[in-house]
Structure 1
Amino acid sequence: MTDMRAPLEVQPPLDGGVIDLLPHATDDDVAGAVLTAREALAGWAATPAGERGAALRAAADEVRAHADELAAAVESETGRPFDSAREGVLAGVSTLEQYAELGPVHRGRSLLGSPGAVDFMVPEPRGVVVALTPWNDPVAVACGLLGAALVTGNTAVHKPSERCPRTGALLGGFLAGHFPPGVLQTLSGDGEVGAALAASAHVDVVAHVGGTATGRSVARSCALTGAKALLENGGNDPLVVDADVDPAWAAAQAATGAFTNAGQLCTSVERIFVHEAVAEEFLAALCEQARRWTANAQPLVDRRMRDHVHAHVAEAVADGAELLVGGEVPGGGGAHYPATVLTRCTPGMRVMREETFGPVAPVRVVASFEEGLAEACADEHGLAATVLTGSMANAQRAWRELPVGTVKVNAVFGGAPGGAAHPRRASGTGFGYGPELLDEMTAVKVVHLGQAEARR
């Protein structure tokens, strides 16, 4: 990275063109932001926890007041429809409010030592936190990482995805004014900026949500500097459909998992294993669902992503998959891609091995639930998985055997508030959500207070 960088272009996926230009961070900007965060750390860490929580609560109110503006920015930069984008913004507000309450009651514990001493464990802020956040749910993810970091006394430097720099800049402006100078900073830039931040010797935590390749690069940098790597990388989430469920209902679940947000969610359904007893009805219903989703489709984030998705589909068809619905690049402008259903997929196909991150439902028909479960488990990723079954025995077996952080039974999305999970293997490491994220953002210090012997 040099100190002379062209500005970032904001390009909407709906019709192309450039609608805005934002400054691109330089080497000096990166070094300056980290130094400023380091200088602000002592004062913010010493701020009473209740005051830090109050500041975060005020920041949440600010974001809520500008929810429409942020949602419009998300829509213009990523193509996510306004109502859905606004739901993401409000989810971010809720997370900020949650951490505003949980932060001040985050506590250590006392230990049982000798009667003449006091022993305890206390959480302390880790230091300077770098947050590298994605474009597919930019406000909600950023609010989670930044809220947990700030309320526990860390300072933070946020680098949003270069695909939504204006959204990141807006959010940073709404948040930063509620904290002392230097406590929260936002830098715009591409992957080189993120890499420079991750490689800084003066950073204590790098929290990254995004692709597996970038996550592995972050992990390598942290191994050299000693910083903590907190990673939610890509997923290749399976859906297993048992023989005893209604195939039309199962198809609706599969479509929701594969096509919501044009398949651009971290926990989108990426590969489907359906029992042969219901496969014919399931595929017919899934094709009908795909046609409905295409009739009101949102675009992919950009044409580069569309090219990636179509390459997966075209390669699968060339390797023997059968294209039932979709699979063709539309004419005209924008970055739309139709909801697509493939069958006769095999485990070696890239559409089954890698994260497609688009509105594609690759289906493999299996002879038994056991076969589907075994193939679902055979993957390097470990983010989430879904099982649709009426059998409690199969549900129990599935959640125990699937090597993922989150298992959902009979619902592709959903869960109780405050849930958190460890992604596995290529999908990352550490808690990225919930009360446990406060533990990730702090380091525990053990203290032994003994009595001095009196002077004679």
Structure 2
Amino acid sequence: MPTTATETTAGTETIEGPGITIQDPRTGEVLWTVPEAGPDAVNDAVSVARRAAPGWAATAPAERGAALRAAAKALDAAAPELAGLNASETGRPENEALAGIAAAVSTLEQYAELGPVHRGHSLRGNRLAADYTVAEPRGVAVLLTPWNDPVAVACGLIGAALVTGNTVIHKPSERCPRLGEALGEVLAPAFPAGVFLTVSGGAAVGAALSEAEVNVIAHVGSSASGARIARAGALTGAHVLRENGGNDPLLVDRDVDPAWAAGQAAIGAFSNSGQICTSVERIYVHKDIATEFSKALEAEAAIRNTNGTVAPLVDLRMRDTVHAHVADALAQGARAVEGGAVPDGPGSFYPATVLLDCTEGMQVMTEETFGPVAPVQVVDTFDDGLRLACSGRYGLAATVLSSNIAHIQQAVAALPVGTVKVNAVFGGAPGGAAQPRSESGAGFGYGPELLDEFTQVKVVHIEAPPAPRGAETGSIVEEQDLP
């Protein structure tokens, strides 16, 4: 039967074949097939969200914040179940999945507080007039979210969109559809019917939602998909937010401890099996410490491969991409001192891999590999490393490890990225936001600034009308000025 969107607090029901089949990344076993939405379901979801939009926009901001707090409480209660689904569909260890869900709860709570105090600005004009701006919701928001940190990333966009008065259609990644649907079932009851809907599907469903008559599209995923979505938004007039691919550099200066720097590099390259948007994707190390650094990084990778802490990649297709990048580097003269080969056995495992003697033209140095691979290129000077770090078509993030304040300031000024991290590959204060650049996307992601992305500004000018004919002409102000 065709998929339809129903106006219930459970969100969008999707019933259609043939569906999305998910395999366990650890064993290769088929776990389940999730129905995929068709064109009618997409159209119905947009219609339902459009009908619900005026009422939700008119809801008091404090009430919207209260609904978001209720959603956060429900999410916290459902954390074990959702973490289990995350582990089953993507291979992420349950403790890491639980940490991602805890971050999502905190994000929803943060937007529940920020939303009601999101305000416009007063403007200076005539002292007997009032000029100010009002932030209004854009309308219907389509959110297309990834699989690598599926709950935390989704809830950042969901929270900001809902608390500012938009209705939401969420399409989770087709790599974790059961988790996406379960997340919708947990969150939707906190909101009025039609305000938060979930639609399952792959690239065709994402394209249909992007081409629909909606008001804002937020996408976290590959640069290729982001470019298609940007083109679709240009045709429909939707406001488009994109956090897309990255090829984030790590620049290691000569004056840092090599073992510490290798530890930072390992965290950046191997965490979540390298499947993080801001993972370390390429490393430039000063020649003076290159030997010690490389040996320490090799040891870091070996420990992870020996103790089995490297989780599988999300699926075999991802592993094929990662190994193709490694094979390209090896064919061009790189050396794999640890890892670098597809392991025997079931699942989509890939070892923590250290590649030495890398050069500029290799795919691991120019593309987003998105796996547990640490490619190292030795540079003669800090300036040489910075020049290489500034190269490429991406602009998501970069990390600098240095004790030289002049080098740090030079790098901060030069790196063409949305986020620069100094002496820590991960971390940052709550509420931080950044603007990806180039093929890494556009628009603010997360933080208070994300509320601005989901609203549009109306400027208001108010002044008194002229006095009726025959009325006294003196104003109160003028009379008060009389002697």
* 1:27-42 equivalent positions in 2, closer than 5 A: 27-42=39-54
What is the identity, as a one-letter code, of the residue corresponding to 1:183?
V
Partners of 2:316 and 2:353 in 1: how far apart? Answer: 17
User: Equivalent residue for 1:114?
Assistant: 126
- What per-residue deviation string (whole Å, max 9, x for no partner) do you get for residues 333-380 of structure 1? 000000111111111111110000000001000001110011000111
When the two chains are superposed, the root-mean-square deviation of aligned CA atoms in Å is 1.1
Query: Are residue 436 (structure 1) and residue 449 (structure 2) matched?
Result: yes
Match of 1:389 among 402, 407, 414: 402
CA distance in 2, matches of 1:67, 1:256: 25
CA deviation string 1:154-185 (max 9, x = no partner) = 00000000000111111111110010000000
For these two proteins, the number of residue pairs brought into alignment is: 454
1:309 to 316, 322, 346: 322
- The C-alpha deviation readout for 1:422-455, integer Å capped at 9, x for no partner, is 1111100011100100000100000112333355
Letter matched to residue 138 of structure 2: R
Structure of greater Rg: 2
Alignment of 1:279-358 (within 5 A): 279-295=290-306, 296=308, 297-358=310-371
Superposed counterparts of 1:66-105, under 5 Å = 66-105=78-117
The CA deviation at 1:16 is 1.3
Residues 357-372 of structure 1: matches in 2 within 5 Å? 357-372=370-385
Out of 210, 223, 233, the residue aligned to residue 234 of structure 2 is 223
Question: Paired residue for 1:153?
Answer: 165
| Partners of 1:432 and 1:293 in 2: CA distance | 32
5+ long unaligned stretches in structure 2: 4-15, 470-483
Q: Which residue of 1 aligns with 2:250?
A: 239
1:414 CA displacement? 0.7
Matches within 5 A, 1:193-272: 193-200=205-212, 202-272=213-283
Deviations 1:204-246 (A, max 9, x none): 0000001000000000000101101100000000001111111
> Is 1:416 matched with 2:429?
yes
Correspondent of 1:45 among 57, 65, 68: 57
Aligned to 1:177, the other structure's residue is in SS state helix
Q: CA deviation at 1:17?
A: 2.2
Q: Distance in 1 between matches of 2:283 and 2:295?
A: 14
Paired AA for residue 247 in structure 1: P
After TM superposition, the score normalised by the length of structure 2 is: 0.93
Corresponding position of 2:465: 452
Task: Report the TM-score when normalising by structure 1.
Answer: 0.98
> Could you say what secondary structure the match of 2:349 adopts?
coil
Verify: 1:124 aligned to 2:128, yes or no. Answer: no
Distance 2:344 2:94 in 1: 24
SS at match of 2:392: coil
**Stretches of 4+ moved more than 6 A in 1?**
none
Unaligned stretches of 5+ residues in structure 1: none
Query: Structure 2 residue aligned with 1:167, among 176, 179, 185?
Result: 179
Identity of aligned residues (%): 62
Cα contact 1:10–1:166 (8 A) shared by 2: no
Residues 124, 445 of structure 1: 8 Å contact kept: yes
Indicate if the aligned counterparts of 1:111 and 1:119 stay in contact, CA closer than 8 A: yes
2:66 match: secondary structure = helix
Alpha-carbon deviation of 1:40? 0.1
Aligned counterpart for 2:75 among listed residues 63, 80, 103: 63
